[in-house]
A and B are shown apart, each in its own frame.
Chain A
Amino acid sequence: MSTTLEKRPTSEVTGVHRRRVAGLGALSVVLLVAGAVSLAVGARGLSLAEVWQGLFPEPGSDQRLTEIALIVQTVRVPRTVLAIVAGVALGVSGALIQGYTRNPIADTGLLGVNSGASFAVVSVILLFGLANPYQYVWFAFLGAAAAGAVVFGLASIGRGAGSPLTLALAGQGVAVFLAAMTTAVALSDQASLNALRFWNAGTVAGVGFDVIRPVAAFVVAGLLLALTTLPAINLLNLGDDVARGLGVNITRTRTVGIVAITLLAGATTAACGPIAFLGLMVAHVARYLTGPDYRWLVPCAGLLGAVILLVCDIVGRVVTRPGELQAGVVVAVVGAPFFAALVWRGKFKTV
């Protein structure tokens, strides 16, 4: 072997490595800045100093300050935290599902989690007349988890179990079935229809820490599970036979992966409603930045998801004052043209 052959790959590898580390660092900084802006911007604009005082009020401060503290602590902080948690979860689950289905147009909606959550929401509104999001968030999570379990269960019956193609098609079958059932309920009951249209828009506003805390716990569990499977996804993408030959337990890896995706997407959908398109978009942009290695792609997708959801939420607060646009709507309207431009210019690779 000649020295040039040995040297060139190493220098290329370190170059890629440096770019990935720099990219993750830059994304983290952007996320911090966006978080600070998110605390300051809203129906009532605050300076960063005021935000700081609102976060850590000195005892015995005047009336105006406690009002600011109230806004910051009960509205802005939960909203910002939820945007970050949901963004990370959606970004990571989007990248994971594309990895597991080996399908570049796979989206977290594919597992049926969104439609499962929507169906659960309209059903409990119809059956029990629940009106408060605090009451139906748990049913939404149950619906999401049940739908994910059914899709994966159906796709893994028999041999050739849980192959990417079967998973994608079974997911689509169950998702559309549930969406139709949801429509059937909504069309027959106006209260359900009314709740559904707001739920469907997807927003990170209006939820307190009592909801965010359990959601964040599910998301953290999902993230930890996801992290354990990252090296195995790289091998799975070489094809099932190769992966098996290299010692991957395919069934176990897929099961763990699907559980992680269901936890992440289900918890997010329960708290925010379905936020479409974010996971799909983020997965492609992250692949464009880091290359196909899932150990880098997935963290990058998580950070990117948080940044985009946070920025879209801020944009939604600013553009239609005094009203607000839901983050889910802004993600599509702002993100889609940007994504389309990237698709057109860059050379996106198949998964």
Chain B
Amino acid sequence: MNETAVKRPVTPGVRLGHASFVWRPWMVLVTLLLAAAAFLVFCLSIGTGDFPIGLPQVIATLFGQGERVDEFVIMDLRLPRALAGLVVGIALGVSGAITQSIARNPLASPDVLGITGGASAVAVFLVTVSGGAAAAIVDSVGLSAAALAGGLGTGLLVYFLAWRRGIDGLRLILIGISVSAVTEAITIWLLVTADIRDVARAQAWLVGSLDDRSWGEVWVALWCALALMAVVSCVAFQLRPLHFGDEVAAGLGVRYSMVRAVLLLCAVLLAGVAVSAAGPVPFVALVAPQVAMRLSRYPTPPLVASGLVGALLLIGADLVARTALPVSLPVGVVTAAIGGPFLVYLLVRANLKK
């Protein structure tokens, strides 16, 4: 063995008590910039509307020092919507980053695990099969809650069907795809047999929207998301070794079955919370981790940056949907219209650079 061939690590480590991590200046810079951009778009979104409010006033009001008129407009009318966008975006981004990391496949978004499909099938069922028990359920529980239950139920079903002396990434994804296919077939069949007016309502729900968020819904989503994030941040540092395979991870002291189960459960719940708050907004969970990965020049989807890109995408799309377009479109249409080309742009640019 040649001594000179052994290279020192390029990135220096930092140690704080028992915790140690690698100092990655570029990654930190990108994350900070993304956070700043997300905050800026968040404030812009709050300031924009029939009663426009300047950026400084928005920020002052958010920190409790605004005028009374602004305070009413912002706190009662605009903040719930913007906050819902923030929570849903972050939840989808983090959820996508976790599933893509665990499955080691960039196409593995939480949609693949059946959450979206299950939630959509339940919602479409309630919308199209009118009268009787369904109407009673919609009135008492609310469509979002029923959809959340459907999504989580399907997610857990996928998890238990895929469990066979542990969870294997490919088996989980393939079972997820097959369960999603069934729920999508049920949705299609419900749409084919339903009345066309109900179909339009169902279709609007199926695209995802941030319209008419109330504080009640936002608080529920916010606290659930915060609790889940807390769990994720306690376990997430063990995610990276999983990329090297189970044997290596075990050798590095990771209890991989445990870590994977906890993180997957969190990913399913986060996606479920997002679906219940905004409907099945497509694509954010797929595109946000891929964009974050490429911006931060990191080999695997980084969790924090993915969440921030998700929030940026969702709030930005909502802003565009409300202001720039002649017709009002659900936010899901715009996330796909912005996110799809941006992902393609990043891919093409990376290919040109090589």
Contacts and interface: CB of A to CB of B under 8 A. Distances in A.
B173 interface: yes
B347 A159 contact: no
Contacts of B332: 180, 183
B322 to A, nearest CB: 15
Interface residues of B, number: 58
B179 A201 contact: no
Contact of B343 (A103, A173, A280, A344): A173
Given A176-B282, A340-B175, A158 B352 contact: yes
Interface in B181-209: 181-182, 184-186, 188-189, 191-192, 196, 199-200, 203-204, 206-207
B47 to A, nearest CB: 26
B207 A158 contact: no
A198 B191 CA distance: 8
B245 interface: no
Q: Is the interface of A mostly helix, strand, loop or mixed?
A: helix
B348 A104 contact: no
A246 interface: no
Contact of A336 (B173, B182, B353): B182
A197 B178 contact: no
Contact of B188 (A166, A187, A200): A200
Given A169-B290, A170-B344, A332-B185, A105 B282 contact: no
Nearest to A153: B348
A346 to B, nearest CB: 10
Interface residues of A, number: 60
Contacts of A106: 107
Contacts of A103: 105, 107
Interface in B301-354: 327, 329-330, 332-337, 339-341, 343-344, 347-348, 350-354
A180 B333 contact: yes
Nearest to A159: B354
Interface in A319-348: 325-326, 328-333, 335-337, 339-340, 343-344, 348
Interface stretch (A8-16, A37-45, A188-196, A253-261): A188-196
Nearest to A107: B177
Contacts of A134: none
A276 interface: yes
Interface of A: 103-106, 110, 154-155, 157-161, 163, 165-166, 168-170, 172-174, 176-177, 179-181, 183-184, 186-188, 190, 193-194, 197-198, 200-201, 276-277, 280-281, 284, 325-326, 328-333, 335-337, 339-340, 343-344, 348, 350
Given A277-B181, A339-B178, A348-B171, 9 more contacts: A103-B107, A172-B107, A177-B341, A187-B200, A187-B329, A276-B184, A332-B184, A336-B178, A337-B182
